Structure 1
Amino acid sequence: MEIVYVYQKKRKEFGRQPLFGDRPPEVTVHLPSDPALADNYVERNPMNVEMQAAPEMSEHEINTESIVMANQGIQHTEGGWPKDVDSTDVEHTLRYRRKVEKDEEYTRVVKTLSETLEHCIKQNNAIDIYDEYFASVKEELNTDPPSAKTLNVYRDPNPVKRTASCLSWYPEDGNRIAVAYSSLAFQQTPLGMTNESYIWDIENPNQPDQSILPSSPLVCIKYNPKDPHILVGGSYNGLVAYWDTRKGSYPADSSTIDKSHRDPVTSVAWVQSKTGSEFFSTSTDGQVMWWDIRKLAEPTETLWLDAEKNNRIVGGTVLDFEPTMPTKFMVGTEAGLVAMCNKKAKTPADRISHTYPGHLGPVFALQRNPFFLKNFLTVGDWGAKVWSEDVRSPLMATRAHTAYLTDGCWSPVRPAVFFTGRADGAMDVWDCLFKQSAPTLTVQVGASPIHALRVQEHGKVVAVGARDGSTTLLELSDALTKPQNGEKAMFSQMLERELKREKTLEAAAREKRLKAAQAKRPGSSGSAGKQQVDLVALLAELEANEQVQAANADFFKIIEEEQARLAKQQQANANAASAAAVASAAAAAAAGESA
C-alpha cells in the first residue's frame, strides 16, 4: 500500500518570489579577532558541523471534526444466469449446473484453482514438529489494579430527555445495543416527549443506527437470542410488541389493549423453545403472561403473583429465565420478595413453590450466576445479596449504602464478579474472592442516577443507562475480565461453605423457635394436627417479627453511624474555625504592639 503525505499551504504564505543569480563575493561585516579571548576557547580538530538553511519541520496530524458514519443496506438478488435459465426454478438451475460440471473447461479451471489452494494450505500447515513454539509462553498473573475507562457516551437526541430504562446487547458480536427510553415517574410525562427508542452502533455515538417506534414509550426491551433481527419490548401502557429490524422502525405486531397488562411492563424474557418465538412478561399489575410473536392478539397463558398465597397480588418488577431449566423461572416483586415459580406445576396454586424474603423495597435486579445456576443475585433497597435455592436466607450481602441501588448483574466471564449501579451515579464492581466488605472498584459514571446496567457477552464492556437519557460504555481492565487460576473452584467452595453455615443456623433457629412456641402453649386442647398448624403459624409470625426487628436494627445503626460522622465533621469544622479566630486575634495583637 502506497503512503502519500500531502502538505497544504496558501500561496500568500510563501512570501515574495526569490530570484537567484551569480554575483561576486563582498564583505558585509568585518569583525577583527581579539587575542585576549583565545583563552576562553578550546580547539577541536577535526570539527564537523551540519548546516541547513531551511527550518526543521516534523509531521503532525490533527483531526478536529467528528467523522459521521452511516450504514446503508442493499438488496442482493442472485445473478449471472443465462437468459434462458430461470433462477427461481430449482430444476432449471440444477440442470444448468450439471451441464456446466460436465464441461472440460470447468474441470480444468477447478483443478488449477485447487492446486493453488492446496499449496497455500500446505504452507500454513508447514511446522517443525521438533520445535517447541510455545515453550516460553507462560500465563502470568495479572497484578495491575482493576480499572475502567469510558469508551463512548450515547445521548438521547430528543430535546425532552427521558430515562434510559432498559438495555439489550446484540446477541451475535455485541456491536449494537438497543436502548429503551421512557419517563418512569407516575403521571409526570413531560409535554412534547417522543415515544422513540433507538438501536445504537457502538462505533458511532453521533446518531442512532435505527429507530424503534412503539405506540407508547418502551420500559423494557430484549433481543431474541436465536434471531438477532427480532426484538420484543414492553410499553408504558401495558402493551407488548415485537420488531423485525429488517422491516423498518414500526412494530411487526402488537398485543391488544384489552388482553394486555394494566400497568407498565417492567420486564420481558425469551423462552427456550424450538420455534424461538415465545416469551413472557411481567408488570406491576401482578400478572405474568406468556406470548407467541406469531399470534400476539392474546397471551397463551397467565399467572397471578400471589407470592404468599394469601389472595394478595403483588406487582412484578423483574424476570429471570435460565434456558437449561425450561420449566422454572423467578420473579422479583414490588414487596421485596423473590418468587420461585414452576410453569409445569400440576395445579395453579403450586406454580409458586416458595419465596425468598429478599429486600425491604422492590427488587430491581434478579439474575442467576452463569457458572453456578443454583445461586442468584438480587439488588434492591440499599444492598445486593447472593442467594442459594436451598435456603431462604442470603449467603452473602453487601453493606448498606447511603444511596439506593438500582440495578445489577453478574460478569459473564468471571464467576465471582458482579456489578451494581447506584442512585448517586456510581457503579460498583464486586469481587467476592478479593473482599466482601467493600467494592473492588467504584466508577463515578455521572451525576445522574443509574437506572440500567448490562455487560457485553465477552465481559469486556459494560453499558450503563442513566436517568438523564445517556448511555455510557465502560471498558474494563484485564484484572476484571480474565479469570484467575482456580477461581471457579475457589468460588464454588466459598458458596458451599456459606450454604452449610446457613443451613446449620437455620436449623438451630427453627428448633429454638419451636421450643419457645411449645413453652408458651402448654397443655393446649385439640388434636395433634391442630396443634401442629398453630405451631407453624406461630413460627411464621415469630420469624416475620425477627426479620422486622433485624431490619429496624440495621436501619437505626446506619442512621447512628451517619449522625456520628456528621457530628465529627461539624466538630472538626468548629475546631478549624476557632483556630483561625485565635490566629487572627494573635495577628491583630502583634500588629497593635508594633504600632
Structure 2
Amino acid sequence: MAEDALYNMAAEERRMELERKKQKLAEMRMDKERRKQEKLRHTLVPGEINGSTTDSGRQSLPNFDMEEILGSVGIPSAVNIENGSHPPKTNDVSHETSPNRILRPNRLPNLEIAEIQTVSIAPKNGMSYSKTTQTDDERISVGEFSLGSQEFDFDEISVGEKNIDINFDESPTHEIAKLLPNLQFGHKHVDEKTEKEIEIQARIPDLSEEEKRQLLTSNPFVQFFQRSAKVIERALNEDVDIFVDYSRDFLAEQNAGDGELLTLNREFIDEKSCANRFVTALDFSSFFPELVAVAYDHNPNAPLDPPGIVNVWSTRHKTLEGTFHSTSRLTSMLYAKFHANIIVGGCYSGQICMWDNRVNKKTPVHKSPLSTAAHTQPVFCMKMVGTQNAHDLVTVSTDGKMCTWSVDNLNAPIDTVTLCCKTKRQLPTLCLSFFHNNITSFCAGGEDGFLYVGDRHGNKGEVAKFYQAHYAPVSTVDMHKTPGKIDYSSLCLSGSLDWSLKLWNLRENSPLLSFEKHKHYVLDVQWSPVHPAVFISSDSDGNAHLWNINADTESPISSLNIGGGRSARKMMWSKDGKQLIIGDDNGRILLYDVHESLYNVRSDEWDKLSSTLKESRLANADNDDRTETAPV
C-alpha cells in the first residue's frame, strides 16, 4: 500500500509539473503574438490605396505588389467577412462583384524602393557538442536526481490531443519532424529494395572444386596455414607452473644430491628426419634465445635422404620450427651471430653453406664453390668473430687451412692462410676456440694430440706456441668465456680420445689440473657462460659430468647418463646459463634445466677460483720437486 501511495504521489507531481509546462508554453505563445501585432500596427502609415506616388513625390508600390509582399511574410492584406444580412455594395477600388466583400484597412503603408547598403560579416565559428549524463537503466521513482542536474523520466509536450515525447538532449531535427509530419522535414530519399534483393546481392558465390584446389595448394595459403598452426600449437603447449613456490629457500638446496643440479625438461627428436643420425653441431640463436639449431650427419640406412640436415627447435615447444638440407655431410654449423635469420654450415666436402629462414626453401640460398682457393677437406671448425659493424666468419679444415669469409659473399674467402709450425708444414686441426673478446688469437686442437696457440694475422699462419697435451687426437677445446672482475681468458679446457680432460693456462707450459673421471673417449667440454668455475664434459659412454672446481677439483658435483646406450656427442649452454642441451648419436636432443645456484653467481666466485688455481700451481710444483729428487 505504501508503494502504491508513493507511486500515486509521484504521478500527481508529474502531472502538475506537465500542467505548469503547458501553461508556460501557452503564455509564451500569447506574448509572442501580442508583440507581433504591436509591431505590425507601428509599421502601418496612411497613404493612397491605389496611388503610385507619395506626398513627397516619390514612387510607391501598387496594391497588388504590396499584397504579394505581405502575403509572402504571412500577413493577410484584408479580412474576409461572410455575406450576412447586409447586401453587397460597389467598391471604389475594385469593380468586381463577389458574394463575399473584402474590407481593406483605411490606411495602408506607403512602401518605397530604397537603396540598401549590404555589409558582409563573417560568422563566428561556434563549437557545439553533445553533453550526456550516465544514468541507471531502471529507475525507482520519477524525478530521480543524477550528477549535476535533475532529470525526468519523460519529457512530454501536448499538441492538441497528442502527447509527444521530446528528448531535449538530442538534436531537434527528429522532434521537429514529429511535430510537422506533413512537411517531411529532414526526410532523405532512400531507394527501396526488398529484403530478397538485398540478400541476393550480399550472397557470395560458391567456389568451384578447381578453384578450391588451386586455393588450397597456393603458396600464400600454405605459408599462412603453417604459421597459424604453429601459433595455435604454441598457445596449446604453453605450460605455466601454477604451483610455483616463490618463498622456497634455494640456498638450503644448494647442497642437494647428485642429479638435482640438472633436471631433464624435455626431449626433441624427429623420427622421420633424425633417426640414426648423430649430432655434429649445436648453437643457440643470439636474437631468439629459445631457438636452437642442430646439425645432423648422414643416415647410413637411408642413402636417398639428404646427407646433411639442420633442424631448428624451440625450447618451449616439441615440434620443429624449420628444416634445411645439404647435399653434403655437415661437420660444423652455427647461427650467424649478427644476422637473425641466417644459419651457416661447414660440409665434409669443404664447402660453406648458408640457409635463410626468410626464404621458403630448404636447400642453401648460397654456398662456396669447390675450389683450391678455399677448403678442399672437411671443415670441423667454424667461428663467428668481430662486432656488429665488423665481423668475419673463420673456418678451418682438417688440412690446417684457415679461411676468413664475409657472410654477404661466399664466392671467395677474404683471406686464406695455412696453419703451420717450425716442425710441421700443416696442422691437422680438429677443433678450434678463440680467446674471449679477441678476434685474432685462438687455440686449436690437433689430430696429433697437440694444442696450438696462434694468431690469424700472424706470420703466414705460423703458430706461436704448441703443447704436447694428449696422447690421442684432441677432440674438443674451449676457452674460458665468463666475464668478471678477474680476467681468466687464458684458461683453456681440452678433451681427448685418450679419456683425459685437462685445464690449461696458455701462458704456462704445463696443465693446471687433470680430470680422470671419464672412462671412455671425451667428446665435448663446455665452460659455463655465467659461472667462472663451472663446466661440463661428456664422453662416448653417454656420461655427462658437471664440474665446479671451486667446490671440488677431483670429482664432479653432478653426473648423469643420457641413457639408451648412446654417446653424448655435443653440448651447449644457453646464453644465460639456465639451460643445457645435449645431442647424442641417434638424433636425440635432451634439454636440461640448470639449478639456480649455477647461474645466480656470487661475487666471491672469481676470488675462489683464483685461490684454487694458486693451490693447483703449488701442488704441481711440489710434484715436480719430488720427481726431480726421486732416486733413479
Aligned partner of 2:399 among 276, 285, 288: 285
CA gap of 1:500–1:284, structure 2 versus 1, over 3 A, is same
Name the amino acid aligned to 1:294: D
Contact map agreement 2:344 2:352 (CA 8 A) in 1: yes
CA gap of 1:341–1:507, structure 2 versus 1, over 3 A, is farther
CA gap of 1:499–1:475, structure 2 versus 1, over 3 A, is same
Note the 1:414-429 alignment, pairs <5 A: 414-429=531-546
Taking the aligned partners of 1:417 and 1:322, their CA distance within structure 2 comes to 18
Taking the aligned partners of 2:354 and 2:294, their CA distance within structure 1 comes to 14
Deviations 1:400-433 (Å, cap 9, x if unpaired)? 5322111010111211111011111121101112
**What residue is the counterpart of 1:374 in the other structure?**
490
Note the 1:70-219 alignment, pairs <5 A: 71=227, 140=251, 142-145=253-256, 146-158=260-272, 161-183=276-298, 191-194=303-306, 195-205=308-318, 207-219=319-331
**What residue is the counterpart of 2:445 in the other structure?**
332
CA gap of 1:311–1:143, structure 2 versus 1, over 3 A, is closer
1:271 alignment partner, SS class: strand
**What residue is the counterpart of 1:473 in the other structure?**
591
Q: Does 1:450 find its partner at 2:563? A: no
Task: State the 1:230 CA deviation.
Answer: 2.1
1:216 alignment partner, SS class: coil
Q: Does 1:362 find its partner at 2:478? A: no
Contact map agreement 2:490 2:506 (CA 8 A) in 1: yes
Aligned partner of 1:255 among 368, 371, 392: 368
Contact map agreement 1:240 1:260 (CA 8 A) in 2: no
Name the amino acid aligned to 1:301: D
Deviations 1:160-195 (Å, cap 9, x if unpaired)? 5211111001113421100000149xxx68523323
Q: Does 1:234 find its partner at 2:350? A: no
Taking the aligned partners of 1:239 and 1:485, their CA distance within structure 2 comes to 45
Task: State the 1:332 CA deviation.
Answer: 1.4
The two structures have a TM-score, normalised by structure 2, of 0.55
Contact map agreement 2:549 2:612 (CA 8 A) in 1: no
Contact map agreement 1:221 1:268 (CA 8 A) in 2: yes
State the number of aligned residues: 378
Name the amino acid aligned to 1:341: G
Contact map agreement 1:277 1:294 (CA 8 A) in 2: no
1:488 alignment partner, SS class: helix
2:394 alignment partner, SS class: strand
| Unaligned ranges ≥5, structure 2 | 1-224, 231-246, 483-487
Contact map agreement 1:71 1:209 (CA 8 A) in 2: no
Taking the aligned partners of 1:211 and 1:277, their CA distance within structure 2 comes to 26
**What residue is the counterpart of 1:59 in the other structure?**
none
Taking the aligned partners of 2:316 and 2:370, their CA distance within structure 1 comes to 38
Contact map agreement 2:281 2:296 (CA 8 A) in 1: yes
Contact map agreement 2:436 2:479 (CA 8 A) in 1: no
Contact map agreement 1:253 1:293 (CA 8 A) in 2: no
Taking the aligned partners of 1:506 and 1:437, their CA distance within structure 2 comes to 19
Taking the aligned partners of 2:506 and 2:388, their CA distance within structure 1 comes to 28
Task: State the 1:239 CA deviation.
Answer: 0.6
Contact map agreement 2:378 2:398 (CA 8 A) in 1: yes
Taking the aligned partners of 2:473 and 2:609, their CA distance within structure 1 comes to 28
Name the amino acid aligned to 1:322: F
**What residue is the counterpart of 2:383 in the other structure?**
269
**What residue is the counterpart of 2:579 in the other structure?**
461
**What residue is the counterpart of 1:353 in the other structure?**
464
Name the amino acid aligned to 1:216: S
Task: State the 1:322 CA deviation.
Answer: 3.4
Contact map agreement 1:70 1:209 (CA 8 A) in 2: no
2:572 alignment partner, SS class: strand
Task: State the 1:269 CA deviation.
Answer: 0.1
Task: State the 1:483 CA deviation.
Answer: 2.2
Aligned partner of 1:487 among 605, 615, 622: 605
CA gap of 1:397–1:323, structure 2 versus 1, over 3 A, is closer
Taking the aligned partners of 1:251 and 1:333, their CA distance within structure 2 comes to 30
Taking the aligned partners of 1:301 and 1:189, their CA distance within structure 2 comes to 39
Taking the aligned partners of 2:496 and 2:589, their CA distance within structure 1 comes to 21
Taking the aligned partners of 2:317 and 2:572, their CA distance within structure 1 comes to 19
Deviations 1:232-259 (Å, cap 9, x if unpaired)? 1101211112222222433232111114
Taking the aligned partners of 1:140 and 1:401, their CA distance within structure 2 comes to 30
Deviations 1:256-310 (Å, cap 9, x if unpaired)? 1114322221120002145455211112122121111222112222222324x22
The higher relative CO (CA closer than 8 Å, separation ≥ 6) is in 1
Contact map agreement 2:428 2:446 (CA 8 A) in 1: yes
| Unaligned ranges ≥5, structure 1 | 1-68, 75-135, 513-595
Aligned partner of 1:405 among 522, 528, 532: 522
**What residue is the counterpart of 1:386 in the other structure?**
503
Q: Which has the higher helix share?
A: 1
**What residue is the counterpart of 1:537 in the other structure?**
none
Contact map agreement 1:180 1:220 (CA 8 A) in 2: yes
Task: State the 1:224 CA deviation.
Answer: 2.2
Deviates more, 1:355-364 or 1:268-277: 268-277
1:209 alignment partner, SS class: strand
Deviations 1:217-239 (Å, cap 9, x if unpaired)? 32211112222222211012111
Taking the aligned partners of 1:287 and 1:189, their CA distance within structure 2 comes to 33
CA gap of 1:197–1:143, structure 2 versus 1, over 3 A, is closer
1:310 alignment partner, SS class: coil
1:344 alignment partner, SS class: coil
Task: State the 1:338 CA deviation.
Answer: 1.5
Taking the aligned partners of 1:416 and 1:321, their CA distance within structure 2 comes to 19
1:290 alignment partner, SS class: strand
Taking the aligned partners of 1:341 and 1:189, their CA distance within structure 2 comes to 41
Taking the aligned partners of 1:383 and 1:72, their CA distance within structure 2 comes to 49
Taking the aligned partners of 1:426 and 1:238, their CA distance within structure 2 comes to 31
Contact map agreement 1:224 1:270 (CA 8 A) in 2: yes
Contact map agreement 2:434 2:440 (CA 8 A) in 1: no
CA gap of 1:287–1:344, structure 2 versus 1, over 3 A, is closer
Q: Does 1:221 find its partner at 2:333? A: yes
Contact map agreement 1:163 1:467 (CA 8 A) in 2: yes
Taking the aligned partners of 1:427 and 1:335, their CA distance within structure 2 comes to 25
Contact map agreement 2:436 2:480 (CA 8 A) in 1: no
Taking the aligned partners of 2:522 and 2:575, their CA distance within structure 1 comes to 23
Taking the aligned partners of 1:274 and 1:174, their CA distance within structure 2 comes to 18
Name the amino acid aligned to 1:305: L
Taking the aligned partners of 1:162 and 1:384, their CA distance within structure 2 comes to 26
Instruction: Please say which structure displays the higher CA radius of gyration.
Output: 2
CA gap of 1:161–1:272, structure 2 versus 1, over 3 A, is same
**What residue is the counterpart of 1:438 in the other structure?**
555
Deviations 1:467-495 (Å, cap 9, x if unpaired)? 01111111122233332461111102222
Query: RMSD between aligned alpha carbons?
Result: 3.2
